[in-house]
Amino acid sequence: MNMGAMMGERRAGPLQVMRTVLSALFGVRHRRMHEEDAAGLRPGQVIIAGIIVVAVFVLAIVAFVQFVAIK
Amino acid sequence: MEATHAHGAGHAHGDGHSHHPKGVMRWITTTNHKDIGTMYLWFSFAMFMVGGAMALIIRAELFQPGLQYVEPEFFNQMITLHGLIMVFGAIMPAFVGFANWMIPMMIGAPDMAFARMNNWSFWLLPPAGILLTASMFVPGGAAGTGWTLYPPLSIQMGIGMDMAIFAVHILGMSSIMGSINIVTTILNLRAPGMPLMRMPMFCWTWLITGFLLIAVMPVLAGAVTMILTDRHFGTSFFSAAGGGDPVLFQHIFWFFGHPEVYIIALPAFGVVSHVIPAFARKPIFGYTSMVYAIASIALISFIVWAHHMYVVGMPVAGQLYFMYATILIAVPTGVKVFNWVATMWRGSMTFETPMLFALGFLFLFTIGGFTGLVLSNTAIDVQLQDTYYVVAHFHYVMVAGALFSAFAAVYYWLPKWTGHMYDETLGQWHFWLSIISFNIAFFPQHFLGLAGMPRRIPDYALQFVDFNQVSTIGAFGFGLSQLLFLYVVLKAIRGGVKAAAKPWEGATGLEWTVPSPAPYHTFEEPPVLTEAKGHA
């Protein structure tokens, strides 16, 4: 993908990628924050982080279900 | 929808393409994205008419209780073919047609990345359409299982079922090739200076839809292949008698089927995200959060499939999991609705036909979304499973979500395709007739479902007569209104007020920088992008 080169040289750290993906899941965020993040993000990082977050999301719902369904 | 224009332009532009075959061979051998887009759109309209005629047979039979016009077996076949044809033959090809026409122009590319494969993706469709429609005339008739093709019924049907399976295989191949083409085009052929986060929203929605299609169409192909081997080659994947499980099919089918809902909905979101900003004369509110929301919807769509099958037998923990996950997917969808509303806030709006259809989409899709939330609740779904409430829900999502946005897209881009403005008065008539008759047809079905009328049954109890008659009258009105649409499109192809390169004051994007009608070849040299020419 030719996008990484265009978006700047600085690589985003894992924490920053997670923050981006979590705000994506919520759907709303400040433009300023997004522009800070977008500078260093690569699509590959975001996709991997997205899949991890969805897996954690599923496990969180399963855990909650266990909590309410099991007496 | 712009055959004559494309003809004219193709002939006028003799620039090194005089070797192009003429007449029908031109359409068979074409690798031009505009020609192929045109063929996709006409094919989908033809299928829309066939599927619509089937819907009218269903509604005619349901006008009165008892059996009037068709046998129950044939009624079931109409239900099945209507679903399959509308989903795979009408809606999906329509949006692939829009993608073919518009994505290369939106990103400043000369054509699709794989131009010959593009031709093949299209020409797979007519054989599949013929297989599906011709299956009505074979011994035993067409598949009568419903579009979900559940076993054990789908294992017992006649040769019509094999034809449906083969058609689904072919349609799946076409979709996968189309998606690979679109994804590759978007990732590799963008004009220099257009990063992903500044490309038009329609491209974003199709990029993600492309990945969804590549992920789930093989799943459907696998499921129907397993049915085929169960039918003919002695396997027992779905037959309890041989140690298999029919419920397995439902899981596999809906693992495809739920993302499929978003495959249909996301490009529709993309269209609306162009039309609303253009007619509100404001850039879209929250471009970034829109992209995020689309990506989130796509990912979450993979983890909610079993809400389609709450009643097949599932532990309470499973029901709760799918209920919570399904309710949560409403959050990113809600974000999108808020963004569209916020885009219009304090905009200087005008209400030409594309905008009317986009607003119709927004209004009706929100109703469909809310009834979806109602159904996501397991305790309620157990009551409403397989009733007309479900039919009302998914028609509000599919017709209002996909079809209305497809109409918005056609009216919005028709000047670019044909070089002529469509007849605005008739366009508005089409909108008002459609939205009123659509609601007359489908809103009463909520009441029928709540009162307990089952779906997919040709007969019903006497207390359901009134609402069914209202619904049938609305359905015929809706069907006839679409003939007006055909007339408006044909009229615009044949002539009309000359369209400017940018006929809509508030429209943005590269596609409006080329003349109307768009020349046969556009952006042979990549355009030079400035900051201002970014996304819509």
Of A3, A28, A57, the CB nearest to B195: A3
| Res A24 pLDDT > 50 | yes
Q: How far is A53 from chain B (nearest CA, A)?
A: 10
Q: Do A25 and B187 touch (CB under 8 A)?
A: no
User: What is the per-residue pLDDT for B225?
Assistant: 97
Q: What is the ipTM of this complex?
A: 0.74
Q: Do B289 and A27 touch (CB under 8 A)?
A: yes
Q: Do A66 and B317 touch (CB under 8 A)?
A: yes
Catalytic status, residue B111 = yes
Q: Please provide the average confidence, as pLDDT, over all residues in chain B.
A: 91
- Mean pLDDT throughout B367-382? 94
Q: Are B416 and B512 in contact (CB under 8 A)?
A: yes
- Which pTM does this prediction carry? 0.90
- Mean pLDDT throughout B490-518? 93
Q: Do B320 and A6 touch (CB under 8 A)?
A: no
Q: Do B325 and A58 touch (CB under 8 A)?
A: yes
> What are the tens digits of pLDDT across the range B242-281?
999 999 999 999 999 999 999 999 999 999 999 999 999 9
- Mean pLDDT throughout B525-532? 76
User: What is the per-residue pLDDT for A69?
Assistant: 82
Q: Residue B418 — pLDDT band, cuts 50, 70, 90? A: very high
B286 to chain A: which residues are within 8 Å by CB? 28
Q: Do B320 and A68 touch (CB under 8 A)?
A: yes
Of the listed ranges B1-15, B60-74, B127-141, B197-211, the least confidently predicted one is B1-15
| Res B448 pLDDT > 60 | yes
How many angstroms separate the CA atoms of B104 and B246, rounded?
44
Q: Are A61 and B324 in contact (CB under 8 A)?
A: yes
| Res A12 pLDDT > 50 | yes
Catalytic status, residue B13 = no
**Percent of chain B at pLDDT exceeding 90:** 83
User: What is the per-residue pLDDT for B498?
Assistant: 93
Which residue pairs from B450-454 have beta carbons closer than 8 angstroms and sit at least 24 positions apart in sequence? B450/B384, B450/B387, B450/B389, B452/B387, B453/B387, B453/B388, B454/B386, B454/B387, B454/B388
Q: How far is A52 from chain B (nearest CA, A)?
A: 11
Of A29, A38, A58, the CB nearest to B303: A58
Size of interface A-B (CB pairs under 8 A): 64
Q: Residue A71 — pLDDT band, cuts 50, 70, 90? A: low
User: What is the per-residue pLDDT for B531?
Assistant: 57
Q: Do A61 and B321 touch (CB under 8 A)?
A: yes
Alpha-carbon distance values, B40 to B43, B203, B253 (Å): 5, 18, 26
| Res B122 pLDDT > 70 | yes
> A69 exposed, middle or buried (CB, 10 Å; 0-12, 13-18, 19+)?
middle
Catalytic status, residue B245 = no
> What are the tens digits of pLDDT across the range B24-70?
888 999 999 999 999 999 999 999 999 999 999 999 999 999 999 99
Q: Residue A28 — pLDDT band, cuts 50, 70, 90? A: low
Of B187, B299, B331, the CB nearest to A1: B187
Catalytic status, residue B175 = yes
* Domains identified in chain B and CATH numbers: 3-12+23-519 (1.20.210.10)
Options B260, B352, B423, B511, the catalytic residue: B260
- Mean pLDDT throughout B317-326? 92
The full set of domain ranges for chain A reads 3-69
Catalytic status, residue B2 = no
User: What is the per-residue pLDDT for B13?
Assistant: 44
Catalytic status, residue B22 = no
Can you tell me whether residue B71 is helix, strand or coil? coil
- Mean pLDDT throughout B371-391? 95
Catalytic status, residue B310 = no
User: What is the per-residue pLDDT for A68?
Assistant: 87
Any idea which residue has 């505009």 for tokens? B34
